[in-house]
């Protein structure tokens, strides 16, 4: 499925490059030109892919919109649009016009590999729309930063989250927290998403701030309200006065907890790590909460998939110290492949750059629709099926065809921590119980649905 680089000066099939523009070549020049999609194709992409993504909600998912779009078949429309672009342009990178400027869409595995290999200084994470949305809730977060300050913030995140270690040094403490909190989840035969979400929020508070914050639901109410406001970040000019007040209240609360937090908590580790004042060590916690809270949806989907795949669930108990946590982590990774937390990886070019011999100006956005690609059976065999064993193959975690945590310099620094937390919540639930059913009902013999609305998930548990 890899394609050759475009020849200098050549026009690819379907090339409709305008005759004007910074990347356009003079007659006789040997500079290759970008492929620009026709206006109708850009419009189709906006209607079937980008607008639904905003409607679903980033960073706070709107369950109602997810249900409506799922029932209307939106994931299929989006996949059909991307497939049509790939077919028409023979897999080559294609520029689409949009409200925030040009976006170069990458659909070929070789381009995706290149995307992950490029340095973040050149292909930066702080794309315009992403920054507008996230700056409401984490204006000093690493994702919203660039240049030297971004590198310092990333270094702090790497240190606190132990990105380069096999296991987080505090993972023993975090496992105990998860075990304590999960006891309340198995008291009845039915587990609702609301109960799971409340429990995960308590776990997040204890991991980030310690036991002192276990019952601080007010903090979470502010964080959730900020995320909801972040959904409108693209169409508003900065945060509202209420949003500013909430951000200040939540940040002040974090500063109250920070001096008393045990050294094993994330905020304690941030406090004890040397860094410049501009880095805003405490401010990084807004993203840690956002990420840790996503564990509720990941666990709900993983358990629902295991309910629909009883052989996979039974295999977790084929070891003496059941459930098998390595296998459970593979189940979580497979769930994330099918239902990624970040389905679109968006970057921005910080300098004029060439991509496979074709020049693009600084400011061009670059998009890898990884949610589509990692489910595409042409690239990933059995793409729409739940097959966790694929994650146990040598090197699967570094295979750029699948990227639930991204790859390269922009890879999630909390990848191991997030995976551990999600697998551990599942393990606690499956230690003495089996998931025997759930809603919505999934058919394991058919391609899995494109969306699984987490708040609508209900699980049936039976004592084993």
Kindly list the residues in this chain that would bind ligand HEM in the complex (CB under 6 A): 125, 142-143, 154, 157, 161, 287-288, 291-292, 294-295, 298, 336, 341-342, 345, 404-406, 410, 412-414, 417-418, 422
Q: Enumerate the β-bridge partners of residue 360.
A: 353
Nearer to ligand HEM, 301 or 433 (CB): 301
Q: Please, how many CA atoms are within 13 Å of residue 312, restricted to the half-sphere of its CB?
A: 26
Q: What are φ and ψ of residue 81, in 5° steps?
A: -60, -45
Least distance between ligand HEM and beta carbon 413 (Å): 5
CA 112 – CA 400 distance, rounded (Å): 7
Element (H, E) at 154: helix 147-161
Least distance between ligand HEM and beta carbon 38 (Å): 28
Least distance between ligand HEM and beta carbon 252 (Å): 21
Nearest to 418, CA basis, from 398, 404, 402, 435? 404
Least distance between ligand HEM and beta carbon 73 (Å): 25
Least distance between ligand HEM and beta carbon 163 (Å): 9
Q: Which residue is nearest to ligand HEM (CB)?
A: 414
Q: Enumerate the β-bridge partners of residue 203.
A: none
Cβ(384)–Cβ(75) below 8 Å: no
Asked, as a colleague might, if the bond just before 440 is cis with ω within 30 of 0, I would say yes
Nearer to ligand HEM, 15 or 409 (CB): 409
Least distance between ligand HEM and beta carbon 418 (Å): 3
Three-state DSSP class for residue 319 = coil
Least distance between ligand HEM and beta carbon 318 (Å): 26
- Give the tokens for residue 162: 């132990």
CA 42 to each of CA 47, 57, 85, 148: distance values in angstroms, whole numbers, following the listed order: 9, 21, 10, 35
Tracing tokens 């356009």 back to the chain, one arrives at 24
Nearer to ligand HEM, 140 or 406 (CB): 406
Nearer to ligand HEM, 45 or 289 (CB): 289
Eight-class DSSP state of 380: S
CA 303 – CA 331 distance, rounded (Å): 9
Nearer to ligand HEM, 91 or 418 (CB): 418
Three-state DSSP class for residue 398 = helix
Nearer to ligand HEM, 90 or 409 (CB): 409
Nearest to 356, CA basis, from 83, 27, 2? 2
Nearer to ligand HEM, 283 or 414 (CB): 414
Least distance between ligand HEM and beta carbon 350 (Å): 14
Nearer to ligand HEM, 88 or 284 (CB): 284
């Amino acid at each position: 499925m890899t394609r050759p680089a475009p020849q200098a000066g050549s026009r690819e099939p379907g090339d409709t490059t305008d005759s004007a523009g910074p990347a356009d070549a003079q007659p006789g020049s040997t500079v290759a030109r970008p492929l620009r999609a026709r206006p109708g194709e850009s419009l189709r992409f906006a209607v079937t892919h980008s607008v639904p993504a905003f409607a679903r909600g980033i960073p706070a998912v709107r369950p109602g919109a997810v249900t409506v779009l799922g029932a209307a078949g939106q994931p299929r429309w989006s996949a059909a649009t991307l497939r049509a672009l790939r077919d028409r342009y023979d897999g080559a990178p294609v520029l689409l016009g949009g409200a925030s400027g040009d976006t170069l869409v990458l659909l070929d595995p070789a381009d995706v590999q290149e995307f992950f290999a490029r340095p973040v200084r050149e292909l930066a994470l702080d794309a315009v729309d992403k920054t507008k949305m996230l700056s409401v809730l984490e204006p000093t977060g690493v994702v919203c930063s660039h240049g030297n300050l971004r590198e310092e913030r990333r270094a702090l995140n790497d240190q606190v989250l132990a990105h380069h270690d096999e296991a987080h040094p505090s993972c023993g403490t975090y496992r105990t927290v998860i075990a304590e909190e999960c006891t309340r989840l198995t008291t009845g035969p039915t587990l609702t998403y609301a109960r799971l979400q409340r429990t995960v929020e308590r776990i997040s508070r204890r991991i980030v701030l310690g036991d002192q914050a276990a019952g601080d639901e007010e903090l979470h109410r502010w964080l959730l309200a900020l995320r909801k406001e972040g959904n409108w970040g693209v169409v508003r000019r900065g945060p509202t006065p209420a949003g500013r007040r909430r951000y200040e209240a939540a940040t002040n609360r974090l500063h109250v907890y920070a001096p008393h937090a045990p050294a094993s908590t994330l905020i304690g580790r941030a406090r004890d790590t040397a860094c410049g004042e501009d880095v805003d060590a405490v401010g990084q916690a807004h993203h840690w909460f956002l990420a840790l809270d996503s564990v509720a949806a990941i666990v709900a989907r993983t358990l629902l998939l295991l309910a629909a795949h009883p052989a996979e669930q039974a295999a977790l108990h084929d070891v003496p110290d059941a459930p098998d946590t390595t296998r459970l982590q593979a189940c979580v990774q497979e769930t994330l492949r099918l239902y990624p937390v970040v389905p679109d990886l968006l970057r921005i070019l910080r300098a004029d750059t060439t991509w496979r011999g074709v020049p693009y100006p600084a400011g061009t956005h670059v998009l890898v629709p990884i949610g589509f690609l990692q489910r595409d059976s042409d690239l990933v065999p059995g793409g729409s099926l739940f097959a966790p064993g694929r994650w146990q193959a040598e090197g699967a975690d570094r295979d750029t065809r699948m990227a639930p945590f991204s790859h390269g310099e922009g890879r999630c620094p909390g990848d191991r921590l997030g995976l551990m937390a999600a697998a551990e919540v599942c393990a606690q639930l499956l230690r003495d119980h089996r998931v025997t059913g759930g809603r919505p009902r999934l058919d394991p013999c058919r391609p899995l649905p494109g969306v699984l609305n987490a708040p609508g998930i209900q699980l049936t548990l039976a004592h084993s």
